[in-house]
Amino acid sequence: MAKVLRNSGIPFIEEVSWGSHLCAFYETPDDLCETVAGYFAAGIETNEMCVWALPDDACSAGVRSGLRESIPQFDDHVESGRLRFVTAADRYTVAGHFDADAFDAFWAALLDESLARGHDGMRVSGEALRLAEQPRADVPTGERCIERLLAGRPLIALSTYRLAASSAADLLDAVRAHHPVIARRDGDWQPVDASTLPRNGITVREVEAAITRMQSRLQGADQLTDRERKVFARLITGASSKEVARDLGISPRTVDFHRGNIIGKLGARNTANAIRRVLSRRRGLH
């Protein structure tokens, strides 16, 4: 499929190609509505069908009222089917449980309908598709399903996360999995990437302090040296070995040496597993 650029409708995010999986954190219901409204308005302008998989706790009337104020001819677009709202039961559940096949079939059918109606493609928004995650490794998660669905199709997705319900681990996972990521807090926009994480609520100093405080609760943490805690804190904020080395005035090879010691002392499988053990105790980060 030829690369076609589309206007995202979201500040700090320039034009994106088909297959893009965007991510937005939001603080208030108004932040969510305004984010999705701009995203959908841009899609309507470029002849796309727009579908919002509403958050489970969203008030449909309130959402529609919020979008009506921002999207010209809102009611006409809803009546024509160009702008649609669906529920969790519609999009990925069977008998109350996530079903990957139902998820794939539902969205693929909507995309086929969109193209049959003469639209160039489709853009969707959904609340925290990660909530559909299953404990079994052989069952695809909602995020994995949508990544698979996006491949090679005229489709753009925006996953939204409510900040109050998101942990530090969610933020880091989103930055690594989505490109790009944006945050909207009380009306203000803020781009998020690995290089800005320390300035977006997860500072190195806070992580260092959290690691120290949880020494008695995290097996092996009390064995970390002061230098290993400094290295680990920077790895948690998303820094690479080269960035950690530059920050601490040591070589990347030394950083990797400390990384190996950290993994061993915490009894972790790898760096990601070690980081998740710390972030799962997110109360220590506040």
**CA atoms lying within 13 Å on the CB side of residue 67:** 29
- Give me the amino acid identity at 71: I
Q: Which domains are present in the chain?
A: 5-192 (3.40.50.300), 204-285 (1.10.10.10)
Query: Which positions ≥6 away from 122 have C-beta within 8 Å?
Result: 48, 49, 50, 51, 110, 111, 114, 154, 155, 156
Mutual angle of helices 204-213 and 226-236, in 10-degree steps:
120
Contact 151, 145 (CB under 8 A): no
How high is the pLDDT of residue 73?
92
How high is the pLDDT of residue 212?
61
Residues β-bridged to residue 40: none
Measured CA to CA, the distance from residue 81 to residue 161 in angstroms comes to 26
pLDDT tens over the chain, length 286 residues: 556 789 999 887 878 999 998 888 888 888 888 889 999 999 999 999 999 987 655 555 567 777 888 888 999 999 999 999 887 666 666 676 777 788 888 889 999 999 999 999 999 998 754 444 444 444 445 667 777 888 889 999 998 888 777 665 566 666 666 667 777 776 777 766 554 444 334 555 655 665 665 555 556 677 888 888 888 888 877 677 888 888 788 888 899 999 899 888 888 877 777 777 666 554 444 4
Tokens of 122: 């489709």
How high is the pLDDT of residue 118?
97
Helices (H), the chain: 29-45, 60-68, 74-80, 88-92, 100-116, 142-150, 168-177, 204-213, 226-236, 241-248, 252-266, 271-279
**CA atoms lying within 13 Å on the CB side of residue 10:** 30
Say how many C-beta atoms besides its own lie within 10 A of residue 192's C-beta: 22
How high is the pLDDT of residue 125?
92
